[in-house]
Chain A
Amino acid sequence: MKKSYLGKVMTMSNKKLKVKREKRKEKRENLFNKKLKVINIGIETFAEDLEKQGVEVVHVDWRPPAGGDAEILKLLDKLEEGS
C-alpha cells in the first residue's frame, strides 16, 4: 500500500505561522553544528578572518551612536525601551 506523506493538509496561514515559530525556535536552539552566519560589529579584521575561513559575514561599519554624546544616547535608549 502506498504510504501517505503528510498526515494533515495545512492551510497557507497555518503554515506561515508554523514557519515563523520554527524559525524563532531555531535561533534559540544551539549554535552548534549549524552553518555560522555572522554579523561583525567593530574591528574589521575579524570579519576578514571569518571570510578567510569561508564564513558568511556582514561587517557593520560601527560609529558611536549620537556622535558619542552620552546625554543623547541615554535619551535614544529610553525611547527604544519604551517602544
Chain B
Amino acid sequence: MNIGSSNIQISTDMKAQTGKVMMSGEETDFSGSTMMTHPLRLDAIFIGSTASRSFNQERIGQVHSLFKRAFNVLTSDNQLISVVRGDVGKGPINIVTNLPQYLSMTSIGIRRNCEVLKVDDLIIVGNNILIISTKNAKQWKPRKEFQGNLLTIKKIRDNLMTVKEVTCSYGRFGGLGQLIEYVEDEHLEKFVSNKLNLFVRMALPHILRLLKAIREGSSPDIKRSAKKLIGFGPGLTPSADDVLSGLMTSLSLIAENLDVNTNFVSKVNKDITSCIPGRTTLISQEFLMHAADGEANEPIIALIERIMTAKTNEVENATKEVLAIGETSGTDIVLGILLGSKLLLDEIHYLDKNF
C-alpha cells in the first residue's frame, strides 16, 4: 500500500530541522508545505450505522478532537463520528480505516477544526490532508440478537465468574474498575477499605444507590444517583461513564435476548441518560446514548453475547479484548457489564413486578 511513508519521511526530516516539539497546551506542528500537497490516502473498511447517517450532505463537519488511534468529527447536527485505526474496532459511530499500526492519527497532519467534507465516495479532511475512500466500505450495525443458543442460568453465572477472574488478572484498576474484586452481593454494601483509590471511594455509595434504585424501580432515585456519577473519574472517557455504559448495554441486550420486560430496562436507561446534558465529554455522551439502546463497539457486544451463549475460553478471550480498550475504560466497562448482568439475573422475577 503506497500511503505515504514518504510523508513520514518528510515529517521526520522536518522534525530534525525544527528541533524539539512544542510545549503542552499548544498542538504539535508538523506543518510544512510539502505535507499539504500529498494527501494521505486511506480506505474505510467499516462504517458504523450511526456514522453513515451523517453522510447525506457535502459538508460533514469539523474535527473535534484528536487521539492516537482516532479523531472525532462533530457534525452540524451535533453528532460525533469517530474515524479510527483498525485496532480500535467496529462501533456504531466508527469509521474503521486501514491506517497502519505504526502511524498515529495525531501525527499525520490533521488539526482540530479541520473541515471534513464528503465528495462522492471520498471523505476529505482538511485542505487535502487526508482522503478516505468509502467505496468498498461495509456497513456495520451493532447486533441486538445474540448468535448462538442461550446457556442455562447456572452456566451464565459461571461465565460471569470467569469474566471477573480474568479481569482481576488482566484489568487496569486506575478507575472505578477496582471494584470488580469485590463484586459479591451482600458484601458490597459493607465494604469500606483504604485499599480503594480515591475515585472508587467517592463513587461507591452512589453506585450502590443506583443499583438499589434500579432494583426498586425508583425513577427519581435512579436520576439522583446518575447525576452523581456521570462525568466522574479519570480517563478521556470518565471512568464512571464507562461503568454506566457497560451497565446499560448489558441491561439492554440481555433483556432483549432473554425476553425480559424490555420496557423496564428502556425506562431505566432513559432515566440515566436524561441526566447527561452538560455533565460529561462529547464522546462519552455518544457512548452513553448508544449504550442506552444496547449499541456499543464490537468487542463489548461480543463479550455480553459470549457471557450468555459461549464456552469458558471464548468468554476469557472476549474479556481480554474488552480489557484492552483504552487505559482503564475496558476494566470499567467490564465492571458495568458484571453489575448489569447480575442485576438482571438476580432480579428477573422481582423486576417484572415493578414498572
What is A's interface to B at a CB cutoff of 8 Å? 2-6, 9-12, 15, 18-19, 22, 48, 51, 56-59
Contact = CB atoms under 8 A, between A and B. Distances in A.
A5 B164 contact: yes
Given A10-B168, A15-B168, A51-B100, A2 B161 contact: no
Contact of A56 (B87, B169, B170, B184): B87
Contacts of A12: 173, 195
22 contacts: A2-B184, A2-B185, A2-B186, A3-B157, A3-B161, A4-B184, A5-B160, A5-B164, A5-B165, A5-B184, A6-B164, A6-B165, A10-B168, A11-B195, A12-B173, A12-B195, A15-B169, A18-B169, A22-B169, A51-B100, A56-B87, A58-B101
Going nearest first, the 3 A-B pairs with the smallest beta carbon separation are A5-B164, A2-B185, A5-B161
B183 interface: yes
Contacts of A56: 87, 101
A19 B170 CA distance: 6
A52 to B, nearest CB: 9
Nearest to B100: A51
Query: Interface of chain A, helix or strand or loop or mixed?
Result: mixed
A12 B169 CA distance: 11
A82 B161 CA distance: 46
Interface in B155-202: 157, 160-161, 164-165, 168-170, 173, 181-186, 195
Contacts of A3: 157, 161
Contacts of B157: 3
Contacts of B1: 48, 51
B151 to A, nearest CB: 16
A10 B144 CA distance: 36
A47 B87 CA distance: 16
Interface string B1-13: 1000000000000
B47 to A, nearest CB: 18
User: Which of B1, B102, B170 has the largest count of A CB atoms less than 10 A from its CB?
Assistant: B102
Contacts of B101: 56-58
A6 B186 CA distance: 14
A10 B181 contact: yes
B123 to A, nearest CB: 22
Nearest to B313: A33
Nearest to B321: A35
Contacts of B102: 58-59
A22 B101 CA distance: 26
A29 B139 CA distance: 37
Contacts of A2: 184-186
Nearest to A35: B317
A31 B1 CA distance: 28
A13 B322 CA distance: 23
A6 B181 contact: yes
A5 B165 CA distance: 8
Nearest to B193: A9
Given A4-B184, A15-B168, A22-B169, 15 more contacts: A2-B186, A3-B157, A5-B165, A5-B183, A9-B182, A10-B168, A15-B169, A18-B169, A48-B1, A51-B1, A51-B100, A56-B87, A56-B101, A57-B101, A59-B102
